[in-house]
Amino acid sequence: GNSVTQMEGPVTLSEEAFLTINCTYTATGYPSLFWYVQYPGEGLQLLLKATKADDKGSNKGFEATYRKETTSFHLEKGSVQVSDSAVYFCALIEDYKLSFGAGTTVTVRA
């Protein structure tokens, strides 16, 4: 079946540092890939997505590229802010079902 593995946390960074969260997947076919973010006390929000190989999703300074050859969808941001502190989830979709990674908690210190 489909599955997603993402980098374990927690991750603690200083402001303006570079952030990478690794995500790899196992799937039949080529599913759409997503990154969701959950800020403290809120629900999950779609951060970005990519629907086919070599697509790059981007939003709020975050980027991720759909790499078919390495079955990866790593999340990156060049300069994080305190407001980026959250839990980040990598996910893929099969029909209407999302399969999520375990989540990575990111804390950015001023």
Partner 1 sequence: NAGVMQNPRHLVRRRGQEARLRCSPMKGHSHVYWYRQLPEEGLKFMVYLQKENIIDESGMPKERFSAEFPKEGPSILRIQQVVRGDSAAYFCASSPAGTANEKLFFGSGTQLSVL
- Within 8 A by CB and 6+ apart from 94, the residues are 2, 27, 31
CB of 17 to partner 1, least distance (A): 25
CA–CA dist 3, 1 (Å, integer): 7
Q: How far is CA 60 from CA 3, 25, 46, 57, 92, in A?
A: 26, 24, 11, 11, 20
Site for partner 1, residues 75 to 104, rule: CB under 8 A? 89, 91, 93, 95-103
* Smallest distance, partner 1 to C-beta of residue 44, A: 4
Site size toward partner 1, by CB under 8 A = 23
**Shortest distance, position 49 Cβ to partner 1, whole Å:** 8
In the complex with partner 1, the residue whose CB is nearer, 99 or 107, is 99
3 state DSSP class of 17 = coil
Site residues for partner 1, 13-72, by CB under 8 A, read 32, 34, 36, 41-46, 49
Identify how many contiguous H helices and E strands the chain contains and give both numbers.
Answer: 0, 12
Contact residues for partner 1, defined by CB under 8 A: 4, 32, 34, 36, 41-46, 49, 89, 91, 93, 95-103
